[in-house]
Every structure is written in C-alpha cells, then in structure tokens.
Chains A and B, each alone.
Chain A
Amino acid sequence: MLRALVLPVLLLLLWEFVGQSGLIQSDMMSYPSAVAAAGAAALLDGSMLKATQQTIVSALIGLLIGGGIGIALGAWFGMSDAANRLGRVSVETVRPIPSVALIPLAMLVFGFGYGMTIAVVAFACIWPALIITQTAVKQVPRELLEVARGLELGWVRKLFTIVLPDVVPNLFTALRLAAGVALIVAVTVEITANPQGLGYALIVAQETLHPDRMFAYLIWVGLIGWLLNFGLLQAQRRLFTRWDIA
C-alpha cells in the first residue's frame, strides 16, 4: 500500500518543482501547492460547493428519470416479444444519437438552468439501463417464469415478485454504469452550454486564466466520480452477497 504511493508522490513533487522553478512558461501551468490553495479558497467561499450541488442534482435527477425510463422499457421489451419487435426499430433509430448533440435542442426547449442538463443526462442514461435490463430479464430462468405461471400470477405480480427481484443485481450494475454516464454528460453540458455547475466553473477558470483553480475543479470532479462508483460498488456488495453465494 505504502509502496504504491511512492510514484504518485514523486510525480507530485516533480510537478511542484517544475512549476515553481518557472522552467516551463505557460498560461495553463500550475503546481500542486497553488492548486491546493485555489481549491481551498473555492471551497471556503462556497462557490465550489454550490457548483457541486448544481451538477450533482442535475446528474441525479437525470439519472433517475433516464434510468427509470430505461428500466421500464427494458423490462417491457424483455418480458414481451411483441413489445420488443414494436420498439426495437424506434430504439435503434434514436439510440445512436450522441447525447451531447441534443444540447442545442435542450437549450431551446428548457433555456439555461437545471432542465437542460437534466434532459440531456436523462436521454443518455436511458440506453445503458434499457439494454442491461432487457438482457437481464431475458435471462430470468425459464423455471422461475413457469413457477409464476403455476402460481397463476398476473403480469404485474410476476414482474414485481419474480422478474424484478431476479434482475435487481443487474439493475444495480445498470445504475452504476448510468451514474458514470450521468456525471460525464452533466459536466459536458455545463462546459459547453449551461452556465452553472462544475463544468461551468472549470471553463470559467480556464478562460479567465486561473489554471490553479481549473486543476482544483478537475481533481474535485475526478474525486466525485470515484466516490460515486465506490459508494455504489460497496452498496452492491452489501446488498447482494447475502443470498448470492453459490
């Protein structure tokens, strides 16, 4: 563990030294101590927390909406061949649109603010959720579905007592993937168009020639992404190891 830290620490020290010495002249050059100071300042004056809140709220609401739509459609397509045939062409037509290409449209519809980011994030989150859910529902053991038939369950009951519980571990994987997508897309929308959140803070720092603040935000965004994934992984382990031991 300690030995693994040697290289990063050395690199940081090298960065600090090169930055302080002025060996490289650049408007975008900074060094660790300056980045730390800028980060602390942004944290203390509240601007970083406000931007964080804006980004996370947009990403989470977008994730919930898009993930919900994706899971619902995926479950429907997975359970019914007719629905799958009906929806496949539409899905395959819309899915390849890069989500960020929708930014201008979202801006027209929602204007600046949360709505715009949420809409684009939601669009992007539908697809991983849909595909993973549909695949998982298709893989529910035939025996379980026949147990449901033998119990004379209607489709709502079948969905909630048999199908969804069986695919919950996969839904969690879908959620984890979609959460990563949500953060990426939210920051992208903010960098390119929406004047709020961490993405906007990043681009403002760059355009006003504050590389130290830019790096501080960059590290902060990375940290949030890592924490998000770590938290969801931990939750997944806790929730599903109990009965999943073979």
Chain B
Amino acid sequence: MVQDKPMQRATDMQSPLLSIENVSFSVPVAQGKLTILQNISLNVRQGEFVSIIGGSGCGKTTLLRLIGGLNRPTEGRLMFDGAPIEQPSRRRAVVFQDYSKALLPWRTVTSNVQLALDTDPTPRDAATKKKIIGRLLEQVGLAEAADRFPRQLSGGMQQRLQIARCLALEPKMLLMDEPFGALDAMTRQTLQDEIAKLAKETGMTVIFITHDIEEAIYLGDRVCAMESRPGRISAVLDIDLKFPRDQLTTREDEQFLRYRHELFQYLPKKH
C-alpha cells in the first residue's frame, strides 16, 4: 500500500494540488450495489475556487466527503499535495452544511475557535492563540460575539463561526458543503462576498458545493456541473469574470447570464 506521506512535494505550479483520478463510489444494497459516483476525474490547482453544482442526490456531498477523507472511494484514487487521501486532515478543513451540529454548544465563540488551535501539533503560547483568535473573529465579523455561546447566535453567525474555526487550522484547502443553503437570501449574499474575499486574501483553495447555479458562477473560478444516477461530472466551465465580483453588476453581466444559460441545461429540469 501507498503511505499517507508526501513522497514528492507538489511545488511545481503545473501539478495540481488535488487530483481526482477515475473515482467511483458505491454502497452495498439489498440487490447488489448502488453506484453513487461513477468515474469522476478532476484536477484542482493551488488557489483555485471550484464550485460544484448538481441537483439533490447527485452525489456532490459524497464527492466532497471523499476529498475530505471522511469516506474512501470504492475505485480510483484521490491525490492531495502529492499523497493519496486516506483519512481526514487538518490541511483540508470541512465546513458542514448543518452548522448547528458542527459547533460545540458548550463552548463560547472564542473557545470554539480555540479548539482548532489547542489541537494543533505545533505548540503556541496563550498570548499568540489569543491574538490569532482575535484576528480570525475580526475577519469573519464575530469580534462582538466572542463570549457568546453558539445557540445565542443567528444562523449566519454560526456559519461564520464554523468558517473561523476552519481558518484557524490554516488549511491548504477549504471544503464547503452547501454552506449557505440554510441561510436567508440577504445573509447568503453577504457571506458569499466574505468568503470570496477570504479566499483571495489567504490564497486558499476552495471546493464549494451548492445547488444554486448563480452562487456557483458568482464565486467560482471554475464550475463543475454534476448529473445524477449515477453521479458524474457532465460539464466543467471556466468562469472568466473579473474580481472583485459584485452582487449587482456581476450578476447582470452578459457573460454571467451566458454561463447561467449554459449550465442550466445540465441540471435536472424537475426537482
């Protein structure tokens, strides 16, 4: 078996940070097996923002879980930074859709972020941790709520907290599973702009799962459209829209509408 150690660092700009090679995933059912993902291949470069869209049940969450290392593929392999993905890693932080279940309700906002630092193998003294937490909470707009408990926060604030905790890991890649799906439209737009800004600032690679075509185009450098039963990639589209993007003008851009048109045909017509 191959070891979970980088045999060769992917410093070369040409080689992808993540490569998904002919990956399939199936689960045993009463009559044989159910194929959830079939022959997925995709390369993601360092610093890229890749949106993945698809209807419900197309396996996009499963794909994210495979990248996260939370599940193992039945066929094919996933390589991250030169090594095969075999288990979850602090370098690939997952932002779960259900933020209310992913936060520790008995810890304050500060303490939830601190969890990521306390479990870091590199030791830091208390003052440094405090500084990092302060900066992160500032970054996600939670500085005022530092001493509150998760259940005293709105949904949008809880999701910001989860993002802050993931950022505290200083991951190379952020995996987001429909992170704004449960939020109201206003909050969603604000958070879209914030995550776009964060990604640009940190140079982090982001995989962003959504079922919202416009959100996918608005955020992505690239959009992958998935089809269901079995889940497979039906189209990959480079998004050539200038940054920073704007909720009003970008969404009215002719090019944006063309992308929207093109991607629309790949999605199921009935939900």
Contacts and interface: CB of A to CB of B under 8 A. Distances in A.
A244 interface: yes
Contact of B104 (A165, A244, A245): A165
Contacts of B68: 150
Interface of A: 141-144, 146-147, 149-153, 157, 161-162, 165-166, 168, 242-246
A242 B105 CA distance: 10
8 contacts: A141-B102, A142-B101, A144-B102, A150-B90, A151-B90, A243-B150, A243-B151, A244-B151
A158 to B, nearest CB: 10
Given A152-B88, A152-B90, A165 B151 contact: no
A245 B151 CA distance: 7
Contacts of B243: none
Size category of the binding interface on chain B? 20 to 34
Interface string B82-100: 0000011110111010100
Nearest to B112: A147
A28 to B, nearest CB: 52
Q: By CB atoms of chain B within 10 A, which of A143, A147, A244 has the most? A: A147
B14 interface: no
A157 B119 contact: yes
A102 B90 CA distance: 51
Given A242-B149, A246-B151, A149 B106 contact: no
B236 interface: no
Contact of B94 (A142, A146, A161, A165): A146
B183 interface: no
Interface of B: 68, 70, 87-90, 92-94, 96, 98, 101-102, 104-106, 115-116, 119, 149-152, 169
A168 to B, nearest CB: 7
B115 A150 contact: no
Given A149-B88, A243-B151, A143 B104 contact: no
A242 to B, nearest CB: 7
Nearest to A243: B149
A195 B94 CA distance: 62
Contacts, number: 59
B151 A147 contact: no
A151 B116 contact: yes
A160 to B, nearest CB: 11
Nearest to B105: A243
Q: By CB atoms of chain B within 10 A, which of A150, A162, A242 has the most? A: A150
A153 B106 CA distance: 18
The 9 closest A-B pairs by CB, nearest first: A141-B101, A243-B149, A143-B101, A143-B102, A149-B88, A150-B88, A151-B119, A143-B96, A165-B106
A144 B104 contact: yes
B174 to A, nearest CB: 12
Contacts of A157: 119
Contacts of B90: 150-152
Given A141-B101, A143-B98, A243 B106 contact: yes
Nearest to A152: B90
Given A244-B151, A245-B152, A146 B105 contact: no
Contact of A147 (B87, B89, B102): B102
B101 A150 contact: no
A225 B6 CA distance: 62
Contacts of A150: 68, 70, 88-90, 92-94
Contacts of B105: 243-244
B152 A152 contact: no
B70 A149 contact: yes
Contacts of A144: 101-102, 104
A99 to B, nearest CB: 33
Q: By CB atoms of chain A within 10 A, which of B87, B92, B119, B169 has the most? A: B119
A147 B150 CA distance: 16
Contact of A161 (B96, B98, B115): B115
A152 B89 contact: yes
A74 to B, nearest CB: 19
B106 A168 contact: yes
Contacts of A243: 105-106, 149-152
Contacts of A147: 96, 102
Contacts of B152: 243, 245
B110 to A, nearest CB: 13
Nearest to A146: B70
Contact of B88 (A143, A146, A162, A244): A146
A150 B165 CA distance: 11
B157 to A, nearest CB: 15
